[in-house]
Structure 1
């Protein structure tokens, strides 16, 4: 049954307002793309990468190098191995909700086909058929979303990153750094000015220890119980590499924890030699002192620098060495009954 344009108004006028919502379904079906320019570590050729690390005589290469030169040698070989073994994500990635199942996708496609048919024929029966499919699709979408969110909640302890990633994607308003207030009351005009204000504020709240001699304290342990050396073994370095979380972000020097974990057998030796040089010299490579600091808004006015807190992303190899030193200090303190 075909109806004229006047009688169609109660149905097809509403139907035409649905057209804008189909941009969302275009996104689901893959017609909207995002450009990506990053490496796909999930497709790494680890056999090739491991062979590259095995081919290097680390003992001979690092023998006469300083801790800074040894780190640069290790970093250069790591970068070369990544360039050779980790493919680039060159193609465009289609936007796809995490909860989208194949059955839901088919239902969305069928709904869109009925929508086009209804618009073309302006037939009441086609409109009823479209409405039935629309209601069915809506129920499937809600069910798929609910099942996916329930699954995220059950796996929260094992995969907290997936949960928080989904929450961030659901947020309609992204909280970032806005214009900040200068000391004279004016607002910043550029990101560089805002970064400098935040940097000065973060530096001002750090505790600056005074120069000079350390304060005298009552001796609580024997005179021969100093921790004069940090025992370090290659097996412990490998153990620390194996314990890395591959889902964590790489540090400022782009050393990915997934690579370190997968190639722990091959990289334990060079990192052991590097850590030993650093401990013997009492110095750290300059790259390890660099952190990527991100300001996180807390509450209050977004124009006040004091309402942001810094979160720093530091070098992963430096974290491993810090963990080993901390364990040695705790063992020494317990052995000497300091606490």
Structure 2
């Protein structure tokens, strides 16, 4: 709520053990915001860039590998129109922080936050801005006069908890909103291990796999058991011949445009800068080196982006990888409405809602008959010619043409491994595929997929506005052999 403080007050409202941050309204009565932060925290107050928006921001430094938390308090006057653009511009800017907590009196009484819908145009614009910034509103009870005027936003579900609406404080007509900042957001460090193919020994890999007598190992085995044995042997050989390395985070990754020449230019720029600071070079010398370095970086970026755009059809993964590095925030899945109309915010609950919806609309029926899909597998009266279904050469040809830039899916076998060892793996995969076709059985792992919901259009709280994209195990695409 607003403080109504101004410079005429010469008293201090700071509490013992707390550091006071305040921002008063300029040239008008009312308004004003204040923050009290415990002195044990390392806090830096951020300078306000715009006097039209009544907000106050501080950054609480994280400890160890914890990320800093941006905490803000805002007061939005009722029927605010003149400063609306500045307000939404600031909201979009602060939402780029990796850990954000925003509280305040926003004066939006007619928004039913349970359904994230509004009738008035001004309210709809606020909701759209909140959705575009991937913020979650956590206050579900009225805070003044039966309406939730005081709101709490965060961009991480694990950052804020224990949200409770208490009684009014003193003579105020606003209820207190009590919550805890859990501080569990960590910096962008990854413990995920990925295969380091640059240091891989594929000759050793090929030798280890070639020693396995596949016909003897897979003889008399069922499809499920045969696939399990095949995968076990491949992963054992892979562990000995392909080392792993930690997956680099966005901060630790070298820019794609940074080549050897630019690396030396940047080092030269830094060296001249240090000389200038020590008085051993002129400012003109440093500016000349900085200008030359800046021009080369711009040309390198333009050349890289041109190459990515030209080769986007052949290498989409590299193109979108570069695009994602330009995004300053990671898109979190927006809260969803379950079947009962309740808004769910936890990741597990969102997964259950989407899983239930995708399973509801999924149809096991197919509009195509077998002879339409695989005409070469059907002869005469519709019986399948099993003997001509799959050949070892077909399997080897498919393995040799795999796209190594694709992900390996839940199977755990990378396309690069399958293509490098196409000659050695053609026979065991041919045996497994043929057994699967003859028995009508498919390994359980081939029916698993990593499903990612992709937002299409409409309201983000509606599960029907998401499209499922599945990443399956590479060998599970055996139907392409036909």
Partner of 2:426: 268
Q: Could you tell me whether the CA contact under 8 Å between 1:293 and 1:313 is conserved in 2?
A: yes
1:79 deviation in Å? Answer: 0.8
Which structure has more RCO (C-alpha within 8 Å, separation ≥ 6)?
Answer: 1
Q: Which has the higher helix share?
A: 1
User: In the superposition, relative to structure 1, how do residues 306 and 168 fare at CA in structure 2: closer, same or farther (>3 Å)?
Assistant: same
For residues 245 and 234 of structure 1, what CA distance do their matches in structure 2 show?
20
1:171 deviation in Å? Answer: 2.3
Q: 2:307 aligns with which of 146, 151, 155?
A: 151
Q: Could you tell me whether the CA contact under 8 Å between 2:190 and 2:246 is conserved in 1?
A: no
**TM-score normalised to the size of structure 2?**
0.54
Residue 447 (structure 2) pairs with residue 289 (structure 1): yes
For residues 397 and 308 of structure 2, what CA distance do their matches in structure 1 show?
30
For residues 260 and 238 of structure 1, what CA distance do their matches in structure 2 show?
10
Secondary structure in 2 matching 1:310: strand
User: In the superposition, relative to structure 1, how do residues 300 and 126 fare at CA in structure 2: closer, same or farther (>3 Å)?
Assistant: farther
Secondary structure in 1 matching 2:406: coil
Partner of 1:43: 199
Q: Which has the higher strand share?
A: 2
1:138 deviation in Å? Answer: 1.6
1:64 deviation in Å? Answer: 1.8
Residue 473 (structure 2) pairs with residue 323 (structure 1): no
1:281 deviation in Å? Answer: 1.0
For residues 56 and 244 of structure 1, what CA distance do their matches in structure 2 show?
23
For residues 293 and 432 of structure 2, what CA distance do their matches in structure 1 show?
59
**Where do residues 243-282 of structure 1 align in structure 2 (5 Å cutoff)?**
243-282=401-440
Gaps of 5+ in 2: 1-187, 370-377
1:310 deviation in Å? Answer: 0.7
Secondary structure in 2 matching 1:245: coil
Q: Could you tell me whether the CA contact under 8 Å between 1:198 and 1:305 is conserved in 2?
A: yes
Partner of 1:142: 298
**TM-score normalised to the size of structure 1?**
0.75
User: In the superposition, relative to structure 1, how do residues 70 and 141 fare at CA in structure 2: closer, same or farther (>3 Å)?
Assistant: same
Residue 197 (structure 2) pairs with residue 57 (structure 1): no
User: In the superposition, relative to structure 1, how do residues 309 and 95 fare at CA in structure 2: closer, same or farther (>3 Å)?
Assistant: same
1:153 deviation in Å? Answer: 2.4
Residue 468 (structure 2) pairs with residue 310 (structure 1): yes
**Where do residues 70-85 of structure 1 align in structure 2 (5 Å cutoff)?**
70-85=226-241
For residues 36 and 120 of structure 1, what CA distance do their matches in structure 2 show?
43
**Where do residues 195-210 of structure 1 align in structure 2 (5 Å cutoff)?**
195-209=351-365
For residues 317 and 344 of structure 2, what CA distance do their matches in structure 1 show?
33
Partner of 2:167: none
Q: Could you tell me whether the CA contact under 8 Å between 2:379 and 2:385 is conserved in 1?
A: no
Q: Could you tell me whether the CA contact under 8 Å between 1:233 and 1:272 is conserved in 2?
A: yes
1:119 deviation in Å? Answer: 4.1
Residue 330 (structure 2) pairs with residue 174 (structure 1): yes
Q: How many residues align?
A: 281
For residues 268 and 379 of structure 2, what CA distance do their matches in structure 1 show?
82
Residue 258 (structure 2) pairs with residue 97 (structure 1): no
Moved more, 141-150 or 96-105: 96-105
Partner of 2:283: 127
**Where do residues 103-118 of structure 1 align in structure 2 (5 Å cutoff)?**
103-118=261-276
1:90 deviation in Å? Answer: 5.2
Partner of 1:219: none
For residues 223 and 41 of structure 1, what CA distance do their matches in structure 2 show?
45
1:66 deviation in Å? Answer: 1.1
Residue 246 (structure 2) pairs with residue 87 (structure 1): no
Residue 457 (structure 2) pairs with residue 299 (structure 1): yes
**Where do residues 203-222 of structure 1 align in structure 2 (5 Å cutoff)?**
203-209=359-365
Deviations along 1:86-142, whole A, 9 cap, x unmatched? Answer: 011159785211111223222222322333344454x9x733322222222221111
Partner of 2:345: 189
Moved more, 299-308 or 59-68: 299-308
Gaps of 5+ in 1: 1-31, 215-221, 328-339
Secondary structure in 2 matching 1:89: strand
